[in-house]
Structure 1
Amino acid sequence: MTENARTWFKDGSYPSDLGVTVEAADDAQSRLSLPYDERNTMFGLVHGGAIASLASISALAIARASPRAVAGPLRTAALHVGYVRAARKSLTVETRAVRRVRELGFFETLIKDVDGNPVAHASSTVSEGGSDSASADSPLPVPPSEGEGPFVAPSADAGTGDAEAIRAAMAATPFLSRRRLRLVSMRRGAVEMALDAAAANLDGDGAIHEGAVLTLIDAAGATCPWTVVPPSPGASGATIALNAHVLGPLPGDGLVARAVVRARDARICWTSVTVVDSASRKVHALGTVVYRFADKNGP
């Protein structure tokens, strides 16, 4: 591992808080591990946001180890994560560089538990161009379509789900409580969720870490379906896929995710997520979460 990569990782508060260890990293591949720890779980399972973070962290570790690595911020222009199994054990993460062309790096990631069972697979595209590629455009204002319809203070009104149950579930989830996530507002089929600029959510430069943004996207996108179908005894579900795009350097201030259910069938919800700066309301990341209800009588 190059000194550039070693310094970047050591200074990253978010990876350190997860307990991620870089076992090897060069300009062709990386190997990481994540211990099974209650702080990274939800209901005893490793949280999907932590798993998505591993794909981003491992690809960026390779980018940092490259001889052409830049000192400025890198960003994951595109990420797709498919979740194939719940994780109840420590994880290993293996990522390889598929190709590099111009400022882009293309990577593949396989995440397994310690018994060798596949947990998730991911593909990512990292912009390795540094400040030149990141400064072409500033983040855009929230599109009008994302702002339509009033978001209201959380309540337990019929048809909007049980906000208190959602808040209780978030508070009982060690991984989300460490991220200091909170439900800001909601209506049927939509939620707003905030992420504070706590130390555990930052990178070594004091900006929000990409992994924390992926957690915010996953949490908002997975919560949103429950505003359509109120939680009931025995009901459960899980994120089966997550797509994310980081549009540029992330701020050092808090972020807000606005999630909206776009389509659903008897089992699956497709939710779009827009992540904005809590101060300027400019867009910093986009995402899509595919969520599956375990109960066939879901939405």
Structure 2
Amino acid sequence: MTETLRARFEDGSYPADLGVQIEAADEAESRLVLPFDERNTMFGLVHGGALASLVPIAAHAIAREPARAVAPPLRTVSMHVGYVRAARKAVTVETRAVRRVRELGFFEALIRDADGNAVAHASSTVSEAGSAPADAPPLADLPAGGPAFVAPADEAASGVAGAIRAAMAGSPFLSRRQLRLLGMRREAIEMAMAAAAANLDGGGAMHEGAVLALIDAAGATCPWTAVPPSPGASGATIALSAQLLGALPGDELVARAVVRARDARICWTDVTVAGGASGIVHAFGTVVYRFSEKNGS
């Protein structure tokens, strides 16, 4: 493990804000630890966005070792994470390189808690071809079929928005991401993430992990616009998929989430992430969310 690699976890950027510690890394595998710290939690559990963040962080640690040293910035092209258990303790992510072909690296990861229980499993594809901006279209308006986004003003919408804002404010992890609820309607939500220092990489751009956290937050919040929160109601993300489109900006990002399908227990939400000022799309994601048995449908 190089000192340069270790320094990346101490430079004040997003991985450092999470407190990620690197235990081992070479050209074949890496092992990282995320401490159980209040700043990474929501409702006393490690936030799903923090767990998803470990996937690109760990894969990049392998790709950057001397045997595969590259000059251009690495970028995650695609990833998928499945959550199998809530984490109430520190977690370890063990990642291995499955294959490398041309500029692409394929990785798989297993996240376990301090007792050795599986928490999540993931796969990712990383490009070593650099971070040229992708030719992505501006963020389109929501499809027809519902009222426009509201601030919101009516009593029912305000109640849901208030509960969402309270949940976001009550999560140390989301509070550190400086998220804001911009608007909502039934089965749709718009959320912004500030370009705060704790959300950036060492080069001043939004960190991929922070983008994944935004996708998770928007995708897991959106279902509650269809099933308003009630006392004792709960749920959890059971899967997250994401595609990152080239270089990320160093400016505010906006996520727009739309419920695509749901049944009594599971909700499938698509999320699009774009630059707050430019409107250029930088990432797509899908979040699969499961309601607890106490929730109505």
Return the alpha-carbon distance in structure 1 between the equivalents of residues 88 and 199 of structure 2.
Answer: 23
> RMSD between aligned alpha carbons?
1.8
**Residues 74 and 140 from structure 1, CA distance in 2 versus in 1: closer, same or farther, beyond 3 angstroms?**
farther
**Residues 6 and 163 from structure 1, CA distance in 2 versus in 1: closer, same or farther, beyond 3 angstroms?**
same
Q: Residue 192 of structure 1 aligns to which amino acid in structure 2?
A: E
Q: Residue 85 of structure 1 aligns to which amino acid in structure 2?
A: R
Q: Does 1:141 align with 2:167?
A: no
Counterpart in 2 of 1:127? 127
Counterpart in 1 of 2:32? 32
Structure 2 gaps of 5+ residues are none
Tell me, yes or no, if the aligned pair for 2:232 and 2:294 is still in contact at 8 Å. Answer: no
Counterpart in 2 of 1:210? 208
Q: Does 1:60 align with 2:57?
A: no
The Cα shift of 1:144 comes to 5.1
**Residues 161 and 258 from structure 1, CA distance in 2 versus in 1: closer, same or farther, beyond 3 angstroms?**
farther
**Residues 147 and 64 from structure 1, CA distance in 2 versus in 1: closer, same or farther, beyond 3 angstroms?**
farther
Counterpart in 2 of 1:154? 152
Tell me, yes or no, if the aligned pair for 2:72 and 2:128 is still in contact at 8 Å. Answer: no
Deviates further, 231-240 or 159-168:
159-168
Counterpart in 2 of 1:240? 238
User: Helix, strand or coil: the match of 1:168?
Assistant: helix
The Cα shift of 1:64 comes to 1.2
User: Helix, strand or coil: the match of 2:67?
Assistant: coil
The Cα shift of 1:6 comes to 3.4
Q: Residue 244 of structure 1 aligns to which amino acid in structure 2?
A: A
1:40-189 alignment, distance < 5 Å:
40-131=40-131, 134-135=132-133, 137-143=134-140, 150-155=148-153, 157-158=155-156, 162-189=160-187
Return the alpha-carbon distance in structure 2 between the equivalents of residues 9 and 27 of structure 1.
Answer: 18
The Cα shift of 1:55 comes to 1.1
Return the alpha-carbon distance in structure 2 between the equivalents of residues 72 and 243 of structure 1.
Answer: 25
**Residues 46 and 39 from structure 1, CA distance in 2 versus in 1: closer, same or farther, beyond 3 angstroms?**
same
Counterpart in 2 of 1:265? 263
**Residues 142 and 62 from structure 1, CA distance in 2 versus in 1: closer, same or farther, beyond 3 angstroms?**
same
The Cα shift of 1:122 comes to 0.3
The Cα shift of 1:72 comes to 2.5
Q: Does 1:292 align with 2:290?
A: yes
Q: Give the TM-score normalised by the residue count of structure 2.
A: 0.94
The Cα shift of 1:161 comes to 6.1
User: Helix, strand or coil: the match of 1:110?
Assistant: strand
Return the alpha-carbon distance in structure 1 between the equivalents of residues 60 and 195 of structure 2.
Answer: 21
**Residues 146 and 55 from structure 1, CA distance in 2 versus in 1: closer, same or farther, beyond 3 angstroms?**
farther
Return the alpha-carbon distance in structure 1 between the equivalents of residues 57 and 238 of structure 2.
Answer: 20
User: Helix, strand or coil: the match of 2:209?
Assistant: helix
Return the alpha-carbon distance in structure 1 between the equivalents of residues 94 and 144 of structure 2.
Answer: 39
Return the alpha-carbon distance in structure 1 between the equivalents of residues 277 and 211 of structure 2.
Answer: 16
The Cα shift of 1:2 comes to 3.2
Counterpart in 1 of 2:279? 281
Tell me, yes or no, if the aligned pair for 1:159 and 1:230 is still in contact at 8 Å. Answer: no
**Residues 139 and 7 from structure 1, CA distance in 2 versus in 1: closer, same or farther, beyond 3 angstroms?**
farther
The Cα shift of 1:56 comes to 1.4
Aligned length, in residue pairs: 296
Tell me, yes or no, if the aligned pair for 1:196 and 1:255 is still in contact at 8 Å. Answer: yes
The Cα shift of 1:157 comes to 4.2
Deviates further, 80-89 or 138-147:
138-147
Return the alpha-carbon distance in structure 2 between the equivalents of residues 148 and 209 of structure 1.
Answer: 34
User: For each residue in 1:172-207, what CA deviation from the matched residue of structure 2 results, as whole angstroms up to 9, or x when unmatched?
Assistant: 100000110111110110000000000100000000
Q: Give the TM-score normalised by the residue count of structure 1.
A: 0.94
Return the alpha-carbon distance in structure 2 between the equivalents of residues 20 and 146 of structure 1.
Answer: 39
Q: Residue 222 of structure 1 aligns to which amino acid in structure 2?
A: A
